[in-house]
Structure 1
Amino acid sequence: MANKKGQRRSFGSVRQLKSGRWQVRYRDTETGLLRPAEKTYPTKSDAQVALAQIEADITRGQWSDPDAGAVNFAEYATAWLRDRKLADRTRERSESVVRLHILPIFGAGTMADVTTTRVRSWRGKLLAAGVGEPTVVKAYQLLRALMNTAVDDELIRRKPCRIKGADRYDVPERPVLSVAEVFAVADAIAPRYRLLVLLSAFTTLRFGELAALRRRDIDLEGLTVSVRRSQAELQDGRLFDKAPKTAAGVRAISFPAELLDDVTRHLDQFAASGRDGHVFVGPQGGQLRRSNFRDDWVSARKAAGITSELHSHDLRHTGNTLASTAGASTRELMTRMGNSSSRAALIYQHMTSDRDRAIADRLGAMIRRSVEEPSGSSDLEVSK
């Protein structure tokens, strides 16, 4: 029980407790009832100063409820992730990162327990434990977004994720194949995957975009491949088609005329039937999976004499480099890649089909040079 010594004010009051320390009480902004401050003070003057500070913070709109941060982190994180609008594959990955790398450290505590010091220590321990840098960056980005929302919800006052550079990482330079090497891999791989290798390199389509292609997406007269969707695979093995992330992802890409025979042969021999049949299918006729392709890719790469750890995705990097060498501008490259923000896509989509045709024709010239002069000059010497 508090003794009767005290001083009332219109905003709140201070009073001395039996312990001899002084307690601050102030009006709750929502209920109007008196509530005690978080801590007590050794002197009456200290308590009065603290009360005045609380009143000033409320008046300036800078006060935050000290009890708000007591919300359980795991409960808040679960609700936050549930309410976000995410694509299935993105949701699956985000849930996995939160479960494996965030909740084990912060889950049992409160939102107020997540401080900049703890975030810095958590990130350092993940890296020291050998967790891949892309995964650590993803975990940090998720934690930062979650805690930023907590600030908006007035659960905490300051954003704790303020580590410079923690939201990105440097991607190591990937190898680039020559045109001759691209064809060497295509020649060495199983025939059903030959066209997949060639289109990866000379249209820069992603694996998911190639796996989702239908017969009706191939224009043999216009020499174009239209991207309207991309295949994604969940951790439980389910496959589904999804729309591109941005408007720039929906695009028609010209391919070199020198690939027409390969395209026609593939459609005749390997593609599923019907206009809506998949262009690329697995060995048993089902939908193409990365696992169907991976072993064949590794074997073909080795058979072609390529000793570097070349990933199939590096064909896309190779294609972008070759297209740039063929004279494509940055805007034209981004259009072919379908890789831009929604805002940038409005600019990139103004590229004309005639200009895209010219890029494909230059790539075709590079193919002819490689076939006619296999030991000749580098592909990168073709004039822009």
Structure 2
Amino acid sequence: MSEITTPQIRRWRADLLDAGVGEPTVAKAYQVLRAIMNTAVDDGVIQRNPCRIKGAGAAKTAERPFLEVAEVFQLAEAVPVRFRVFILLAAFTGLRFGELAALQRRDVDLERRTVSVRRALAETRKDGLLIKAPKSAAGVRTVAFPASLKAELASHLDKHAESSRTGLVFTGARGGQLRRNNFRRIWLRAVEEAGLGDVHFHDLRHTGNTLAATGGATTRELMQRMGHSSVRAALIYQHLVNGRDHAIAAHVDEQIKKVRPTEPSGEGPEEASGT
């Protein structure tokens, strides 16, 4: 290990990039090598870590787009009606796919206009569909939703959600758990119909984060609303209640009203078979 030099590592990295290996993959490989060399320094095997290439461990990724409010409604109108509110909540609360798919009736408070995230749906090749706790304590949170969604969410609960208190809010067209792969087909059709190009479902979350930021949310409020872990662990367990979180939702509500001047009826295209 003592024979490995910084120029050698620089050539190794350059050769990988020249060979067409993706920059994120090269950056991760460099991070692993740097960690190995740091351990070697700690153990006294080498005196200095040769991984000294500035910025080599950081991959540049293209910034994902965020949607205009009108575009969100275009998508919501392009999916089967049972998934309409799924799209709207994703965009206007910033909840992740797995968090929405795991929502139960008891997690929705129409009077307070909040949804509580207590669990998430995950899918692995080994175990299939699993309902488990969010990845971090910050992921357990309560998020306010815009008043404009209240009527549509109430209608959805009446028509499409499972009936018990612990029943799922969102299910597939056949009543089963919502699978990401099956929903992807519906999503791609909706994106094509709306003419939005390369838009991912996760971009709805980015949209919600952007709307909240433009509403004046502080960094701490954004981290709590979006379920991000904070470097200050004490802030993880602080949830916004009846204050700025509702102000953020109210700002989003004003953006909705600009393109939806009257209260939506909750009607949408005919349901499609699939999930």
What TM-score do the two structures reach when normalised by structure 2?
0.82
The answer (yes or no) to whether the contact 1:246–1:342 under 8 Å persists in 2 is no
User: What is the deviation of 1:115?
Assistant: 4.7
| Secondary structure of the corresponding residue to residue 29 of structure 2 | helix
Task: Report matched runs for 1:318-333 at 5 Å.
Answer: 318-333=207-222
Alignment partner, residue 27 of structure 2: 137
Find out whether 1:353 has 2:219 as its counterpart. Answer: no
User: What is the deviation of 1:114?
Assistant: 5.4
Letter aligned with residue 222 of structure 2:
L
User: What is the deviation of 1:200?
Assistant: 0.9
Taking the aligned partners of 1:229 and 1:160, their CA distance within structure 2 comes to 43
Alignment partner, residue 265 of structure 1: 155
Q: Measured at CA, do residues 188 and 162 of structure 1 come closer, stay the same or move farther in structure 2, by a change above 3 Å?
A: same
User: What is the deviation of 1:239?
Assistant: 2.9
Task: Report matched runs for 1:41-80 at 5 Å.
Answer: none
The answer (yes or no) to whether the contact 1:248–1:338 under 8 Å persists in 2 is yes
**Unaligned residue ranges in structure 2 (runs of 5+):** 263-275
In structure 2, which of residues 44, 53, 73 is the aligned counterpart of residue 163 of structure 1? 53
Taking the aligned partners of 1:275 and 1:127, their CA distance within structure 2 comes to 54
Alignment partner, residue 176 of structure 1: 66
| Secondary structure of the corresponding residue to residue 162 of structure 2 | coil
User: What is the deviation of 1:186?
Assistant: 0.2
Find out whether 1:254 has 2:159 as its counterpart. Answer: no
Q: How many percent of aligned residue pairs carry the same amino acid?
A: 60
Alignment partner, residue 204 of structure 2: 315
The answer (yes or no) to whether the contact 1:332–1:348 under 8 Å persists in 2 is no
The answer (yes or no) to whether the contact 2:101–2:120 under 8 Å persists in 1 is yes
The answer (yes or no) to whether the contact 1:115–1:160 under 8 Å persists in 2 is yes
Q: Deviations over 1:146-191 (max 9, x none)?
A: 3323433444443233321122223323222211111111011122
Alignment partner, residue 126 of structure 1: 16
- Of structures 1 and 2, the one with the larger relative CO (CA 8 A, separation 6+) is 2
Q: Measured at CA, do residues 150 and 207 of structure 1 come closer, stay the same or move farther in structure 2, by a change above 3 Å?
A: farther
Letter aligned with residue 180 of structure 1:
A
Q: Measured at CA, do residues 116 and 228 of structure 1 come closer, stay the same or move farther in structure 2, by a change above 3 Å?
A: farther
Q: Measured at CA, do residues 167 and 230 of structure 1 come closer, stay the same or move farther in structure 2, by a change above 3 Å?
A: farther
Q: Measured at CA, do residues 301 and 116 of structure 1 come closer, stay the same or move farther in structure 2, by a change above 3 Å?
A: same
Task: Report matched runs for 1:1-384 at 5 Å.
Answer: 115-236=5-126, 238-306=128-196, 308-343=197-232, 346=235, 349=238, 351-372=240-261
Taking the aligned partners of 1:224 and 1:162, their CA distance within structure 2 comes to 48
The answer (yes or no) to whether the contact 2:147–2:253 under 8 Å persists in 1 is yes
What TM-score do the two structures reach when normalised by structure 1?
0.61
The answer (yes or no) to whether the contact 1:204–1:315 under 8 Å persists in 2 is yes
Q: Measured at CA, do residues 212 and 160 of structure 1 come closer, stay the same or move farther in structure 2, by a change above 3 Å?
A: farther
Taking the aligned partners of 2:254 and 2:92, their CA distance within structure 1 comes to 12
| Secondary structure of the corresponding residue to residue 233 of structure 1 | strand
The answer (yes or no) to whether the contact 1:248–1:345 under 8 Å persists in 2 is no
User: What is the deviation of 1:327?
Assistant: 2.8
The answer (yes or no) to whether the contact 1:233–1:240 under 8 Å persists in 2 is yes
Taking the aligned partners of 2:23 and 2:39, their CA distance within structure 1 comes to 24
Taking the aligned partners of 1:339 and 1:328, their CA distance within structure 2 comes to 14
Q: Measured at CA, do residues 181 and 149 of structure 1 come closer, stay the same or move farther in structure 2, by a change above 3 Å?
A: same
Q: Measured at CA, do residues 220 and 165 of structure 1 come closer, stay the same or move farther in structure 2, by a change above 3 Å?
A: same
Taking the aligned partners of 1:176 and 1:313, their CA distance within structure 2 comes to 10
Runs of 4+ in structure 1 over 4 Å off: 111-115
Taking the aligned partners of 1:113 and 1:218, their CA distance within structure 2 comes to 61
Alignment partner, residue 270 of structure 2: none
**Unaligned residue ranges in structure 1 (runs of 5+):** 1-110, 374-384
User: What is the deviation of 1:204?
Assistant: 0.7
* Higher Rg of the two aligned structures: 1
User: What is the deviation of 1:283?
Assistant: 3.7
The answer (yes or no) to whether the contact 2:224–2:236 under 8 Å persists in 1 is no
The answer (yes or no) to whether the contact 2:105–2:165 under 8 Å persists in 1 is yes
